[in-house]
Structure 1
Amino acid sequence: MLTYILKRLGSTIIVLFGASVLVFFMVVHSGDPLSDLRESNDPDAAHQMEQRTQAMNLDQPWYIRYWWWFRGVAGCVTLSCDFGTNRDGQHLNSILANAAQDSLRLVFIATIASIVLGILIGIISAIRQYSLFDYTVSFIVFVFFSLPIFWAAVLGKEWLAIRYNNWMADGSYSWGQMLGISVVLAIALPLIIGGEPLRRVITAGMTFVASVGALWYFDASNFAHEPRLGAVGIIVLSLGLAVGLTALLAGLGNRRVLYTALTVSGLGIVSYYATWELLAEPAGGWFLLLGLFLLTIAICLVLARTMGGYAKGQATAVAVITGMLTSGLILLDHFMYHWPSLLSLKSRPVSTIGSHTRRFTEDDVTFWQVSLDQLTQLWIPTMLLMIVSLATYTRYTRASMLEVARQDYIRTARAKGANERTVVFKHAFRNALIPLATIVAFDFAGLIGGTVIVESIFNWNGMGGVFITGLRNVDPAPVMGFVMITGFVAVIFNFIADIMYAVLDPRIRV
């Protein structure tokens, strides 16, 4: 394994080096960086041309310019990167750091959301093959996949930003809206769950009543302006996750797994109270939240290995997922708690341009207000990128699950009396993930390219803006910064995908 990893790292370096040489050569020869000054009537144009020539080293051959750029980037090995300056003399390190933060945050969230939703929908479609749900999902995901992203962005701005902000001025539901939403849910949920006609009718009726009741409560409690989960919500949802995940992954008859999950849930409820003051204004920001999240996973692993007994594997999966989702609920409650304070500063919370509100400064706003502002700016672009990838994960998961379901070992597992849950999740799903490992790597690289369009539409100062500005100005330094950062991340994801093959299938020897 170590030899294989070293070989892959070596090939990664070679790929990045070859790409950098090719892209630098193409950018340098794509136009004239002095064209705007040659056409200028400014009396000082000649002096400005001389300054730009010296700043960009235009009097040197392209390979000399590349070598000077490469020496700066090679410093990344010792954590002293120097991506040079753009044609205006601005150092690119800080510009690329801010741009990469916005772009990669967008791509990572879109990738994770599309993977989770796509795999879940794909599994259900495979289990319910040729059902009405299967046909409906196939139609919807391909419609999403076919949407021109610039047109979908216009619709997103209109309905998810402008009209949502208009609705937030009042934040109440009319009876027509309550009944309409409830009818849609009453139709959709039975299609997902399936079952006999009587069961579907009962499910639809219960869904309709529960939906109307929930929307009425949200309207009466002014939930749009003052949302909260609260201690009761955390307790109910956390215990529900523990029981539901145990039933799904191990079965409620497996008491060791159930007790482990309930213990994790109980510790999560205790941590909700224990960390309230600590998270009121996190001193370390997202680093503190990340540290607490990793600590949660570590505690869940220890509990699962200690209490799991003969079912350590299932206990580990249930405990970790329960702990992660409970942590997510606690984080969500803190965001809800600070939502009114964001509205006091920004009555129309979702803007149609920019990755954040520029007038927010660290002096007069809190961590939660800044984070909420960034999240409200993030969700429409994230949704656009997500729906493009959703069809890929859904169809590949469905096809892979159906192919695995025809294998002999699946029939053998059923013949031995294994229940359907064990067959689907333990035997079929793990093997179905093998081809998906490669899809994730390629899709991530594709999403990075897609951010160039999305960032242009929403006027984000991300990597896409840096790339387009560099091309327009025939300035290789910004373009090379984009290629190196996004190329490195894309190649690393392909490297991780290769390693995942050996993890998912022990028969593969790298």
Structure 2
Amino acid sequence: MVSFIARRILVSVLILIAASFIMYNLAAIAGNPLQDLQGSNSPNRAALIAARVATQHLDVIPPLRWGIWIGGVGKCVIGQCDLGTTFHNQPVTQLLPQAMQSTLQLVTFSFVLAIIFGIGLGIVTALRAYSGFDYGVTLVSFFLYSLPSFLMAVLLKSFVALDYNNFLAKPHIAVTTLIVIAVVLGAIVQLVVGGDARRRAIVFGLTAVVTAGMLLLMEATAWFNDPSLGPVFVILFSAGLGLAMVTMLAGTRNNRAWLVGGINVLIAIICYFTLQGLLNVSSGGTIFILAVAAVVVGLASGYFVGGHDRGLMMRIGALTAFLTAGVIVLDRFMRSWHNYSINFVGGRPIATVGSGTPGLQADFWITGLDTYTHLLLPSISLLLISFASYTRYSRSGMLEVLEQDYVRTARAKGLPERTVIVRHALRNMLIPIATLVATDIGALLGGAIITETVFAISGMGALFNSGLSITDVNPVMGYFLVIAITAIVFNFLADLAYSVLDPRVRVR
């Protein structure tokens, strides 16, 4: 394994050097780097041109100029990176961290949700292949996958941000809108539940009635302007998460699993009532420490109660504790919504430009909401496009795995269907997904250019676009360096993930 890693690192470095040479020369000959100065009426135009030629080494041919640049990159080994300066004499090493932070905030949330929901929905559609639910998800997936990213972004700005902000000025749901929402959601839920016509009709009716009732209650209580979960819904959601974790990972007949889930749900409910004072003065570090503590408590409860199957019980405990802690944090964020909306953004909380409100000085909860509202729409735009591909890949992968001999053998042994899917089929289905994830990391970081442009976010895409438009090679190469290293590293991690998911491909 050590020799394999060493070979991969050596090959990756050689690929990176060769690719940077090609990229540098293409970027250098893409335009005239002196065009803006040559067309200027400034009296010191000649001096400005001479200064740019000297600082950017424009009197050196591009291949040799690349040699100067790669020499600066080589200094990163001793901690003295020199990626050059922009035309405005800003060091690229100072611009990259700021751009990377904005892009990572944008990409990480959408990427993680796309993986979770895409794989989960793909598995469900595979288990219910060729049903109405499967056809519906397939139609939506192909529709989303075919939409250009700029069109998705523009539609979200027009019909989500602007319309919802206008709605918050006077929250009132028209009867027609109420009926349409209830009917659409009822149709979706009955497709998910399935069954005979009678069962579908009952599910449709109950869902529609409950949806309409909830919307009317939210309007009557002014929930849209001052939202919160409250003790009742925190308890219900926590119990629901515990039920979901136990059912999904251990089934409904494992008493130890029920005990572990119940312990962690009870601890979460107690913490909700006892930690409110601490949450009011919390920072990001405090929340991180509390999250780690929740996971540790979940692992400990699973270990001491787990008996002969401690590993499974520890996973149930950790996931239940982490998710229920998330419900408590979500409730605290929601209770800050009214203050943020009225006092910081003038009653129009859903932002359409930028990654944050300039000059905002507030506590952790307000700044967190500000980041969320600014990144909501661009994240949804990236999420919907990535989500579609993961749904299709996971569906086809699961259908293929379910036809394998070892799955039929597991079923012939009498194992529960949940065990067959989770412990046998899912692990092998994830092998091609690992490749797709590694590829998408670089694609998302590089492909956010259009989304960042539409939403005016100063991230990696804006850095690349601004540099390329004026043939400023150094920021373009800084962008390339980050994307290339990210792609190489995650493809290497994907190779290692293969050996974890499938012992047959382990390197000896």
Superposition TM-score tier, normalisation by shorter sequence: over 0.9
Q: Within 5 Å, give how 1:56-95 maps onto structure 2.
A: 56-95=56-95
In structure 1, the partner of 2:51 is: 51
1:350 lines up with 2:330 in the alignment: no
Deviation at 1:75, TM superposition (A): 4.1
Matches of 2:425 and 2:464, distance apart in 1: 43
- Paired-residue identity, %: 38
- Structure 1 residue 376: deviation in Å? 1.0
Amino acid at match of 1:108: T
Deviations 1:277-308 (A, max 9, x none): 3332434x3x4433433343333223223322
> Matches of residues 319-334 of structure 1 in structure 2 within 5 Å?
319-334=317-332
Choose from 332, 338, 341 the match for 2:339: 341
Distance 1:23 1:298, change over 3 A: farther
> CA contact under 8 A between 2:189 and 2:207: conserved in structure 1?
yes
Question: Are residues 56 and 277 of structure 1, via their aligned partners in 2, closer, same or farther at CA, if it must alter by over 3 Å?
Answer: farther
Give the TM-score of the pair, scaled to structure 1.
Answer: 0.94
Tell me the equivalent position of 1:181: 181
Unaligned runs of 5+ in 2: none
Q: Look up the SS of the partner of 1:244 in the other structure.
A: helix
CA distance in 2, matches of 1:80, 1:240: 52
How far, CA to CA, are the matches of 1:276 and 1:20 in structure 2?
52
Amino acid at match of 1:426: R
Q: 1:481 to 1:272 in 2, by over 3 A?
A: farther
> For each residue in 1:285-336, what CA deviation from the matched residue of structure 2 results, as whole angstroms up to 9, or x when unmatched?
3x44334333433332232233222233332332232222212212211210
Q: Is residue 501 of structure 1 aligned with residue 498 of structure 2?
A: yes
Output the CA distance in 2 between the equivalents of 1:208 and 1:249.
Answer: 30
Residues in 1 aligned to 2:78 and 2:372: alpha-carbon distance in whole angstroms? 34
Q: Deviations over 1:41-90 (max 9, x none)?
A: 32221111111112212233445543443344334445544433211111
Contact 2:431 2:498 in 1 (8 A): yes
C-alpha distance 111-35 of structure 1, shift in aligned 2 (>3 A)? same
Contact 1:153–1:457 (CA under 8 A) maintained in structure 2: yes
Counterpart residue type for residue 183 of structure 2: V
Contact 2:446 2:460 in 1 (8 A): no
Match of 2:271 in 1: 271
Name the CA distance, whole Å, in 2 between partners of 1:356 and 1:253: 48
Q: 1:148 to 1:34 in 2, by over 3 A?
A: same
Amino acid at match of 1:282: S
CA displacement 1:223-258 (0-9 Å, x = unmatched): 111111123222221111112221222112101111
State the partner residue of 1:311: 309
Residue correspondence of structure 1 range 93-172 to structure 2 within 5 A: 93-172=93-172
Does the 8 A contact of 1:281 with 1:368 survive in 2? no
Aligned residue in 2 for 1:290? 288
What's the TM-score, normalizing by structure 2?
Answer: 0.94
Query: Structure 1 CA distance, aligned partners of 2:298 and 2:485?
Result: 33
Q: How far did 1:165 drift?
A: 0.8
In structure 2, what residue type is equivalent to 1:39? G
CA shift, 1:509, in A, is 0.9
Number of residue-to-residue matches in the alignment? 505
User: Could you tell me which residue of structure 2 aligns to residue 418 of structure 1?
Assistant: 415
The amino acid of 1:500's aligned partner reads A
- Aligned partners of 2:464 and 2:475 also within 8 Å: yes
SS of alignment partner, residue 352 of structure 1: coil
Which deviates more, 301-310 or 154-163?
A: 301-310
Taking the aligned partners of 2:57 and 2:252, their CA distance within structure 1 comes to: 70
| Post-superposition offset of 1:419 | 1.6
CA distance in 2, matches of 1:252, 1:388: 35
Separation in structure 2 between the aligned mates of residue 233 and residue 72 of structure 1, nearest angstrom: 56
Assess if the C-alpha contact under 8 Å between 2:182 and 2:211 holds in 1.
yes
- Cα deviation digits, residues 413-455 of structure 1 (max 9, x gap): 1111112111121211111111111011112222222201111
Q: 1:184 to 1:51 in 2, by over 3 A?
A: same
Distance (whole Å) between structure 2 residues aligned to residue 124 and residue 442 of structure 1: 24
User: Given that residues 172 and 222 in structure 1 are in contact (C-alpha distance below 8 angstroms), is that contact kept between their aligned partners in structure 2?
Assistant: no
Q: What is the CA-CA distance between 1:147 and the residue it aligns to?
A: 0.9
The letter of the residue matching 1:22 is I
TM-aligned CA deviation for residue 491 of structure 1: 1.9
CA distance in 2, matches of 1:99, 1:466: 7
